[in-house]
Amino acid sequence: MDAGLITTQLAARPSARRRHERLTGIVAAMARQTVTASFEIIAWDERPAGVEGHGAAVVRRRFRGPLQATSVAELLAVETAHGTSYVASERVEGTLDGRSGSFVIQHGGITGAGPGRTFGHVVPGSGTGDLEGLMGDAAFARDDAGTRLTLSYKL
């Protein structure tokens, strides 16, 4: 359909224009945002794991940038002669792009034969406060540029 024709029709029907504007706003609100925040580990407290051959730790972080927050994670790790892996459940509390609340990320990674692989997801339904309804994916990285979390999300 011709864009000029749509504009003409919307101008002629105010209720259609309002509906179009409302739907455009809803679609924009549903769009994914991607932010990257630097972080530092502020505590790493190892403890006995409940599974033989595993290591466990409680890890605390501080995030800076579009995510101003602190977090606490329960981490479970395995190291073998051929590689390492970890899984974690991490509660993040603070401000994401100006919205206050908390949410949980479950993430993990594995190294060994071939390139390392990681995963990370915001746990559905874990958002509180202004972050209620938060959904998304999380990627932790560490390299010469430092440590960071990239969060691709929608509210």
pLDDT in tens, 79-105: 988 999 999 999 999 999 999 999 999
Residue 57: give its domain's CATH number. Answer: 2.40.350.10
Q: Are residues 66 and 12 in the same domain?
A: no
Backbone angles phi, psi at 28, to 5 degrees: -65, -40
Total tally of structural domains belonging to the chain: 2
Instruction: Please write the tens of the pLDDT for every residue from 126-152.
Output: 999 999 999 999 999 888 889 999 999
Asked if residue 80 and residue 147 are part of one domain, the reply reads yes
Question: Are 94 and 130 in a shared domain?
Answer: yes
Residue 1 has pLDDT above 60, yes or no: no
| 55-86 confidence digits (pLDDT tens) | 999 999 999 999 999 999 999 999 988 999 99
Tokens found for residue 64: 């800076």
Spell out a b/e string for 97-123, using b for 16 or more CB atoms within 10 Å of the CB, else e. Answer: eeeebbbbbbbbbeeeeeeeeeebebe
Question: Does 71 lie in the same domain as 55?
Answer: yes
Q: Which domain holds residue 17?
A: 1-31
Tokens of 19: 């509906």
Q: Which residue has the higher pLDDT, 143 or 107?
A: 107
CA 75/CA 52 separation, integer angstroms: 15
